[in-house]
Amino acid sequence: MFTKYFEDVQKQLVKARSGPSAKAPAKGKTATKSAKPAPADVKMDMHGLIKTIEGIVPPSLSVGTLGVIDPSGYSPEGVDFIAYRPLCRDMAALMGGYVPSELVYGTYHVCGDIGRENLQGALNKVVQAKKLNLFTEDRENLPAIPAFIVSAGGSMRLEDIKDSIIDYYVSKSVDYVLEFDVLMVLNKGIVVKNWRERRSFIALETGSATLMWFFILMHEYLDMERGKGLDLRNYVKYTEKYAEY
């Protein structure tokens, strides 16, 4: 029903970088039959991605490049944009460009050409984002915030991406609560955290339907009411005595 919409949007989001995708053979030499052209580098249309996500999240949510802060004052770096429920229309100005973690429904981390180094960098950023609310006194009542990784593409096979993810988490002894939830490689596939088992992920080669399945999975994570535990007093960090009568 909405397959074509996502296929068209996906094509617009991934753009090949200018320049030849493979090096031309040197003068006096001919390319051998076994030589394969190098895959074209791709880049993500960040503005288009944010606009796309904004258009497919629930209407009660907003999407923006704001920071996140929890009641303990912790604010992670490496979050490219977030999905959040606005407390008021001027919330960004009110909070100095930050959103209380209680109102954040998802953090998004963009990884361009996915290679082992870029992948590890994205996984590390998710680890920092997943630490939100872990240092607060009321952390038991604050559910973990879903983290999504989005990649424009790359030469790594989906199976290798999954293996590299597990290798990273094992080698760094990362707690399973700090793992990402869904990773999407446009035009290739998705890797989903398997909550039934610890340190387990499922990789699916979804091809041109990748963005559509990401949309469906993302909504399963966003379909949760948040913000009930928000107490704005926790974000007033100065103490002042007022005259009381």
85: pLDDT strictly greater than 70? yes
Tracing tokens 């949007």 back to the chain, one arrives at: 9
Q: Measure the CA–CA gap between 188 and 194, rounded to whole angstroms.
A: 19
Note the pTM of the prediction, 2 decimals: 0.85
Which tokens sit at 6? 């996502």
219: left (phi over 0), alpha (psi -120 to 50) or beta: alpha
pLDDT, one tens digit per residue, over 154-208 is 889 999 999 999 999 999 999 999 999 999 999 999 999 998 888 899 999 999 9
Domain segments of the chain: what residues? 3-12+38-235
- Mean pLDDT to the nearest integer, 59-80: 94
Closest CA to 148 of 97, 74, 213, 226: 213
8: left (phi over 0), alpha (psi -120 to 50) or beta: alpha
Distances (CA, A) of 161 to 153, 165, 190, 236: 11, 6, 10, 43
30: pLDDT strictly greater than 90? no
CA dihedral angle for residue 232, residue 235, residue 237, residue 239, rounded to 10 degrees: 0
